[in-house]
Chain A
Amino acid sequence: MDEAPVAVEADEARDAVVAALADALGDGLVASEVQPGVDAWVRVTADAWVAAGEALRDRCGMRYFNFLSAIDWQPSPYGRDMDAQVDGPEAREPEPREPGVTGGDTRFQLLARVHNPDTGIGVHVKADLVGDAPEVDSWIPVYPGADWHEREAWEMFGISFRGHPNQVHLYLPGAFEGNPLRKDYPLLARRIKPWPGIVDVELMPGDDSDDDADSSGGDAEGGDDE
């Protein structure tokens, strides 16, 4: 009932966060997006990664460390793994990269979220990382809680964090090779046998395409869903 005033107020607060960050980082802030009343994203350069954390903590009151992870924007050469691939995994032509909110130019993108417990506003911070074995400064001096998250990102994506005191495997066994959350790391279970759950998304007989498959009778929401 009182959603509208909250949304406007939150929007101003999120804009203020972006403005403070732009003031603190200058060229370090590459892009930003605010969804009014919902969420905010900023993209900074990898060099400004630690400065962004400090600015958020000290100038925006984002004392709460929420999470840190990464996104691999290069689609898997093996497709989505949704199809039964018993015939053998043949690498296909790589699909083009399509970066998401606030864009991106590189394959790997850091993603973190910090939060201000006083105002209830959170912001996602992204940073493009160059190369196939990227490096970035550690956030531990700013947020000690980043420790395990960086270890996880290191083993899952192969992103090294400069200055991390204990960059060893967190989940995986010590001798594990590869970075499982990279898109080109195959999911071996799908190579061995077809996924039985595939039947759930098969079209019913008589359905021509996904969009007409709406059983509840062609509502507008289903139609413009593409």
Chain B
Amino acid sequence: MTATADPQQLSYIAAQAADARVNIELETEGMTLNIGPQHPATHGTLRVIVRLDGERVVAAEPVMGYMHRGYEKLAEVRTYPQVTTLVNRIDWLGSFANEVPFILAAERLMEVEAPPRAKWIRTALFELSRIANVVLFLGDMGVQLGAVTPVFFAFRDREFVLNQIEAVTGGRFHPNFDRIGGLKDDLPKGWIEETRGVLGRIRTFCDEMEDLVVGNEIFQARTRGIGVIPADVGLSYGLSGANIRASGVDWDLRRDSDMGLAHGELDWKVWTHPDGDSFARYWVRLQEVREACTIVEQCLDGIPSGPVMAKVPRIIKVPAGEAYAETENPLGVMGYYIVSKGDLVPYRVKIRSASFNNVSITPWVLEGTYVPDVISILASLYFILGDIDR
């Protein structure tokens, strides 16, 4: 018996046995760790329960609802113009962009179309919301990985974008400016020139982030190859926005479908990245801010003249029917499914918010990662709690 045994095989078996003994001696009991609800890395009140084996995550279960405000129920008892006030507060960093898909869905039901000038101004404000939103991510991602400087730059430069939004709408965070059939008001005098200056600042900010963060060795070491999401998995979980484009899916509603804004008439580019890791998600968002600057600039050059409001009845009754409109918001695809019964109030509003789907992949993507990477992955998925909890 032993005569036929291969000495190499024997030594292999011995080594396996030795390894097994060491593993038994060192076996640690699994630990359950709460990340959040009040953890700085969770962008609000998301709680992630992670089950650990050593430093490795065996299972992760996000717990939400700390901020659930029941907008779908509240929207059923508010008139259509009043609903924009609610939906402003879903993704509070890019709030104008929240109003647009709701208004577009209601306009589709009413068969009203906003005049061209309103569409172009909507597009400019929509992209300014994207800049205000994503700029904060570009700085905040640094904080999550231990670099404090970028977020100060982000807050500094976002201020100018918010000033421009405030100059038009009167609200920095909650514009409530979009109306069925157009916009509340026209642009103030001198706004176009001021905005050009702000775009220059944002471009400088993007270059700074490229130098400070993207080119940083520590940043690359903590994000490259971390939290890889393959395209197929991302699609089946309904990931959208920069998260799915960072997995190599070339899909952007602004280009690929007729959202009802002016993007189709402008010259810009959709950025993708093949890697699908945390680094790719950061990089794609950085390029998207630059692209948003290009879009806003072209809007400023090309805003047509004319009214900003179509003729709509003063008391808005939306004809019976169902309509779904979605737009490519800063966080991803946001859509509203409106069921109307020809009343002053919607019968049912389903809010399809981007972060809800984006975060639903966390149990899948966090499994098998290490505790420090949990933070980098969560940060790179970029969610706003109001956008998850609605």
Contacts and interface: CB of A to CB of B under 8 A. Distances in A.
A210 B352 CA distance: 31
Contacts of B74: 187
B315 interface: yes
Contacts of A195: 77
A82 B343 CA distance: 11
B234 to A, nearest CB: 9
Given A100-B339, A147-B360, A226-B317, A71 B348 contact: yes
Interface in B80-127: 81-82, 108, 110-112
Contacts of A190: 77
Given A72-B348, A221-B312, A100 B68 contact: no
A6 B335 contact: no
Nearest to B181: A221
B386 interface: no
A203 B312 CA distance: 16
Interface stretch (A15-23, A60-68, A129-137): A60-68
Contacts of A197: 78-79, 82
Interface in A50-67: 63-67
Interface residues of B, number: 59
Contacts of A222: 311-313
Contacts of A201: 79, 315, 344
Contacts of B322: 41, 100-101
B312 A3 contact: no
Interface string A182-226: 000101001000010100110100000011011110010110011
A197 B77 CA distance: 10
Contacts of A147: 360
Contact of A117 (B108, B111, B235, B341): B235
Given A64-B238, A100-B339, A171-B389, A148 B356 contact: yes
A67 B326 CA distance: 12
A213 B356 CA distance: 40
B257 A69 contact: no
B64 interface: yes
A221 B70 contact: no
Contact of A210 (B312, B317, B335): B317
Interface in A139-193: 143-145, 147-149, 156, 169-173, 180-181, 185, 187, 190
Interface in A64-86: 64-67, 69, 71-72, 75, 80-82
A33 to B, nearest CB: 9
- From A6, A41, A100, residue with most partner B Cβ within 10 Å: A100
Contacts of B378: none
- From A39, A117, A149, residue with most partner B Cβ within 10 Å: A117
Contact of B238 (A3, A66, A156): A66
Contact of B258 (A3, A113, A221): A3
Contacts of B72: 156, 181
Nearest to A80: B345
B200 interface: no
Nearest to B353: A67
A67 to B, nearest CB: 4
A221 B317 contact: no
Interface in B297-349: 311-315, 317, 319-324, 333, 335, 337, 339, 341-345, 347-348
18 contacts: A67-B350, A67-B357, A71-B348, A75-B347, A100-B321, A101-B322, A120-B256, A143-B236, A144-B237, A171-B68, A172-B65, A180-B73, A185-B73, A197-B79, A210-B313, A221-B111, A221-B313, A225-B319
B160 interface: no
Contact of B236 (A38, A39, A65, A213): A65
Contacts of B324: 39, 113, 122, 124
Interface of A: 3, 6, 38-39, 41, 63-67, 69, 71-72, 75, 80-82, 98, 100-101, 111, 113, 117, 120, 122, 124, 143-145, 147-149, 156, 169-173, 180-181, 185, 187, 190, 195, 197, 200-201, 203, 210-211, 213-216, 219, 221-222, 225-226
B232 interface: yes
Contacts of B68: 171-172
B236 A145 contact: yes
B251 A148 contact: no
B314 A215 contact: yes
B238 A71 contact: no
Contacts of A71: 339, 348
B219 interface: no
B313 A39 contact: no
Nearest to B79: A201
B249 interface: yes
B364 interface: yes
Nearest to A3: B258
A13 B84 CA distance: 33
User: Which 10 A-B residue pairings sit nearest by Cβ, starting from the closest?
Assistant: A171-B65, A145-B237, A222-B313, A171-B68, A145-B238, A65-B238, A67-B352, A117-B251, A81-B77, A120-B256
Contacts of B337: 67, 69, 111, 113, 124
B65 A225 contact: no
A211 B314 CA distance: 9
B147 interface: no
B192 interface: no
B2 to A, nearest CB: 49
Nearest to A124: B324
Given A180-B70, A197-B82, A216-B312, 15 more contacts: A6-B258, A64-B238, A66-B238, A80-B77, A82-B345, A111-B350, A113-B352, A120-B257, A145-B360, A170-B64, A210-B313, A214-B313, A216-B314, A222-B313, A225-B110
